Amino acid sequence: MDTEIFTPLRLDEIDSALQLELKEKLDIDIEACLECGKCSGGCSNGHIFDYTPRKIVQLVKIGDEETLAGMDALWICLSCQLCLDRCPSGIDIPRILDYLREKAVTQGVRASRPDVHLFMELMLEEVRDKGRVSEVPLMIRFKKKTGQYLKDAGLGFRMFLKGKLGFIPSRMQKPEDLKTILSERKSENKG
């Protein structure tokens, strides 16, 4: 018979290592969290998150880095900033998620959902190329790669009606300036 011995999580540290890391590197103090859940109640994608923003803050508090790196929410957060905008304590949760995503990517963690990284790569290519993201060209590139041409057609139409889709690619005036910045940044990171 398979018996599993029940071991509760031991809270040995008052502040988890990750909590201190966020404080030091991002100047974000999650001790200010009131645990009210306003961030999660209004989260744009909260209904499909495995861990809602309040729980993400709590995971930081208990220092569960494994769950944080592996959670789905990390990759489907829209960075819409609603949680930050509404937080009574002004905790920058989107910035925490950015930080956790960077950390996950550096550690080679990949989203369990398909095509998340493909989409991000394509989006970054758009930025590198034109300095801006144009929705329709980005969508076309993404659809070509995945072959799912009709998957989001309904959503696309609704977005079009609301004027959220730009058909004409927009470019910044001097995209070469951005390229210089990005290449400098790259060499900085390497050095």
Partner 1 sequence: MDDHVKKVLVIGGGPAGMEAALKIGQAGFGAILVEREPELGGTLKKLVSSFPKWEDPADLISFKAHMLEDNGNVECLTSTTVLSAERSQKGFRVTLRHLKNRGSRELDVDAVILATGFDLMDVSVYGEYGYGIYPNVMSSLEFEERIRGWKEGAEPMPKGVAFFKCVGSRDRSKGFPYCSRICCMYTAKQAGLVKDLFPGTKVYVFYMDYRAAGKGYEEFVRDIIEQKHVRYVRGRPAKVLPENGRLLVRAEDTLMGIPVEVVVDTVVLASAIVPRADTQALTKMFGALTDEYGFIESLPYTPARSGERVFFAGGCGFAVETQGALQQGAAAAAEVIALINKS
Residues at the interface with partner 1 (CB under 8 A) = 6, 8-15, 29, 31-32, 35, 54-55, 58-59, 62
* Nearer to partner 1 among residue 32 and residue 155 (C-beta): 32
* Nearer to partner 1 among residue 10 and residue 47 (C-beta): 10
The residues, any chain, with a CB within 8 Å of residue 31's CB and separated by 6 or more, are 15, 19
* Nearer to partner 1 among residue 6 and residue 167 (C-beta): 6
* Nearer to partner 1 among residue 13 and residue 121 (C-beta): 13
Find, among 144, 142, 102, 95, the residue nearest to 121 by Cα.
142
Q: Which alpha helices (DSSP H) does 52-190 contain, by range?
A: 53-62, 65-70, 73-76, 82-86, 93-106, 116-130, 135-146, 153-161, 175-190
Q: How far is the CB of 11 from partner 1 (least distance, A)?
A: 5
Q: How far is the CB of 89 from partner 1 (least distance, A)?
A: 9
Q: How far is the CB of 62 from partner 1 (least distance, A)?
A: 7
Q: Tokens 């009709």 — which residue?
A: 150
What would the two tokens of residue 170 be? 């927009």
Residue 172, helix vs strand vs coil: coil
Q: How far is the CB of 6 from partner 1 (least distance, A)?
A: 7
* Nearer to partner 1 among residue 12 and residue 27 (C-beta): 12
Taking a C-beta distance cutoff of 8 angstroms, is the pair 165, 156 a contact? yes
Q: How far is the CB of 175 from partner 1 (least distance, A)?
A: 45
Neighbouring C-beta atoms of residue 54, cutoff 10 Å: 22
